[in-house]
Structure 1
Amino acid sequence: MNVADSSSPAARLSAVTLRYGAVQALDGVDIELPRARLTAVLGPNGAGKTSAIGLLLGLRTPDSGTIEVFGGSPRERVVRQRIGVMLQSAGIQEVLKVRELLELTRSYYPDPRSVADCVAVAGLDGLLERRYGALSGGQQRRVQFALAICGRPHLLFLDEPTTGLDIEARQRLWRAIRDLVAEGCSILLTTHYLEEAEALADRVVVIDRGRVIAEGGVASIRARVAQRRIRCLSALPVESVAGWASVSAVRRVDAHLEIVADQAEPVVRRLLEEDAALSELEVRRAGLSDAFLALTAGDGGAALEEAA
């Protein structure tokens, strides 16, 4: 195994299939995790994200296909020592103090971060002598992040890392994640906060029903959806606008109209023609959330609801 080859991906799933009884969890999935990049793996519940992570961590064996992490098996010790993991289900001993958890986890790695460094990166000031079970949900997530990075991982798995965090703690974690990537760490992120993926990801992989249905940079995924979102202050009836050409969804929010359109120009032109008092006109392209919903069979109305 050549762990020093920086030109190869940090990890790779190739033509992987995995079945649980009658359920096809993964069906010919190909995913590559480039080095020193953050890859966001997105998909609805049950799409196969957790199964893919389990395979990359060596927790499951595929029915067919191959798995490589740093050129070898994820079950090899030399590979596992280069990996950090923050999963939704942590299984951490609640009676242990935060300091004890950090020292125990650090002992598994050949060149771990200092406890002080872990505290600084994860924002654990004042928590070292607290028992894990006595912490709030947000504090526990920050401890889990510290445990995931304490071994200086070259590949980091973050499964819904900001669930339960307040805005300040989420922004702090985002900064830490960006710093890790800048230092050369490869990261696989799963998140239901699509604005989080849009803010952090270098690459996006969309999985649905066990298959990869789209992959590429954030801009290229957004470009898969030609829709535009139009917002304006107008008294025009929703029922009337809904029947216009190019309009796929429309709703009223207070005095504003919010419109999803396949083409913005004809809709904007007609708005201006039919409402001389129209104001506060805004037009923007589809975001990652719109693209995700469209790719996973969400219609325009769903996109309008979910992006609200």
Structure 2
Amino acid sequence: MNPTSDVVARLSGAVKRYGSLTALDGVDIVLHRGELLAVLGPNGAGKSTSISLLLGLIRPDGGRVELFGMDPQQIDARRRIGVMLQSAMLPLTLRVGELLRLVASYYPNPRPLEESAALAGIGDLLQRPYGKLSGGQQRRVQFALALCGRPELVFLDEPTVGMDIDARQKLWSAMRALVAEGCAVVLTTHYLEEAEALAQRVVVMGKGRVLSEGSVDALRAQVPLTRIRCVTDLDAAEVAMWPQVASAERDGQRMRISTNAAENVLRRLLDADVSLSELEVQRAGLAEAFTELTREETVVEKEAA
């Protein structure tokens, strides 16, 4: 277990209400130095409210919020963080290099401009006006701004939205580099494969509460489903009616089956279709775990900003 001195941020029994809506209902989250924590949940789960509390943008109605053991609104705490939100209002006429120099000047020990640009993969954009960049390029610039102050904790809210696959992979590498330096990272994302690839720990939220917390493997283990893929002529609707089959659907020639009794279903598949081929068996991923954990927690209320 990490020692207390490694704790960089904490929510303890945090409660936040907006009128009659309880956005957070006694949430406990602890973040340690050198860890990437993914916070997942459907819309309205309380993710944004939790992040806003840790950033000091709003105050809790109950419980406690700490950032480096301090009030999140204290300047000494805020100077130790970097933030990349879903949207950013930045001066469109400033060049990227000018933006980086400006933001870096707010911090006591910023990274050299070239280092920030290299980490974010924007070395070729430094002379370009921010307003002339594509959406994906602007997101990479925003990432550079989040890390240019050499923060000890970075908040990344849907950081790879609008990026192509190559840019997303480069940003993943940069996140891993930050964690290797000892920086803590809080990641909120709707791309579950992103959380699965990056997170040491995952918190799943729903209706303002923490539904589950642990490593990716621990969350996957909570869902006893196995995925089977194969090429078969069997009817998917008929297979879906078999005992212990959760679902079966066809994707071209392939059939995808989810089951909690893989061995029994595999035997029946092989008995029913002797020409069955290209058989693949894989345990449930984070996407299935997330779906199961949040199935009963789906909300219709829009999450308070």
Q: Distance in 1 between matches of 2:112 and 2:184?
A: 21
User: What is residue 217 of structure 2 aligned with on the other side?
Assistant: 219
Please say which of residues 62-71 and 90-99 is displaced more in the overlay.
90-99
Q: Distance in 1 between matches of 2:268 and 2:125?
A: 59
User: What is residue 186 of structure 2 aligned with on the other side?
Assistant: 188
User: What is residue 179 of structure 1 aligned with on the other side?
Assistant: 177
Q: Percent identity of the aligned residues?
A: 58
Match for residue 153 of structure 1 among 151, 154, 157: 151
Q: Distance in 2 between matches of 1:157 and 1:90?
A: 14
Match for residue 275 of structure 1 among 265, 273, 276: 273
Match for residue 111 of structure 1 among 102, 109, 112: 109
Q: Distance in 2 between matches of 1:123 and 1:257?
A: 40
Match for residue 263 of structure 1 among 261, 267, 278: 261
User: What is residue 24 of structure 1 aligned with on the other side?
Assistant: 22
What SS does the corresponding residue of 1:225 show, helix, strand or coil? coil
Deviations 1:36-55 (A, max 9, x none): 00000000111110000000
User: What is residue 60 of structure 1 aligned with on the other side?
Assistant: 58
Match for residue 77 of structure 2 among 79, 83, 86: 79
User: What is residue 245 of structure 2 aligned with on the other side?
Assistant: 247
Q: Which has the higher contact order (CA 8 A, sep 6+)?
A: 2
Amino acid at match of 2:102: L
CA RMSD after TM alignment: 1.1
Q: Distance in 2 between matches of 1:275 and 1:265?
A: 16
User: What is residue 302 of structure 1 aligned with on the other side?
Assistant: none
Q: Distance in 2 between matches of 1:238 and 1:200?
A: 34
Amino acid at match of 1:73: D
Report the number of matched residues.
294
Q: Is the 8 A contact 2:114 2:123 kept in 1?
A: no
State the shift of 1:239 in Å. 2.3
Amino acid at match of 2:112: S
Deviations 1:61-94 (A, max 9, x none): 0110000111111111111110000000111111
State the shift of 1:7 in Å. 2.6
Gaps of 5+ in 2: 297-305
Change in Cα spacing, 1:149 to 1:6, as seen in structure 2 (3 Å) is: farther
Q: Distance in 2 between matches of 1:159 and 1:266?
A: 42
Deviations 1:191-225 (A, max 9, x none): 11100000100000000111100000110011010
User: What is residue 141 of structure 2 aligned with on the other side?
Assistant: 143
Q: Distance in 2 between matches of 1:261 and 1:84?
A: 43
Q: Distance in 1 between matches of 2:111 and 2:239?
A: 59
User: What is residue 168 of structure 1 aligned with on the other side?
Assistant: 166
Please say which of residues 92-101 and 26-35 is displaced more in the overlay.
92-101
Please say which of residues 88-97 and 220-229 is displaced more in the overlay.
88-97
Q: Distance in 1 between matches of 2:202 and 2:48?
A: 16
* Residue pairs, 1:93-104, within 5 angstroms: 93-104=91-102
Change in Cα spacing, 1:6 to 1:152, as seen in structure 2 (3 Å) is: farther
Amino acid at match of 2:276: L
Q: Distance in 2 between matches of 1:256 and 1:136?
A: 38
Q: Distance in 1 between matches of 2:148 and 2:223?
A: 40
Q: Distance in 1 between matches of 2:261 and 2:225?
A: 7
Amino acid at match of 2:101: E
Q: Distance in 1 between matches of 2:102 and 2:225?
A: 51
What SS does the corresponding residue of 2:51 show, helix, strand or coil? helix
What SS does the corresponding residue of 2:7 show, helix, strand or coil? coil
User: What is residue 130 of structure 1 aligned with on the other side?
Assistant: 128
Deviations 1:153-187 (A, max 9, x none): 00000001111111111111111110110000000
Q: Is the 8 A contact 1:6 1:35 kept in 2?
A: no
State the shift of 1:6 in Å. 6.7
TM-score by length of 1: 0.93
Deviations 1:124-148 (A, max 9, x none): 1221121111111011001100100
Match for residue 33 of structure 1 among 31, 34, 40: 31
Q: Is the 8 A contact 1:48 1:210 kept in 2?
A: yes
Runs of 4+ in structure 1 deviating by more than 6 angstroms, as ranges, are none
User: What is residue 306 of structure 1 aligned with on the other side?
Assistant: none
Amino acid at match of 2:100: L
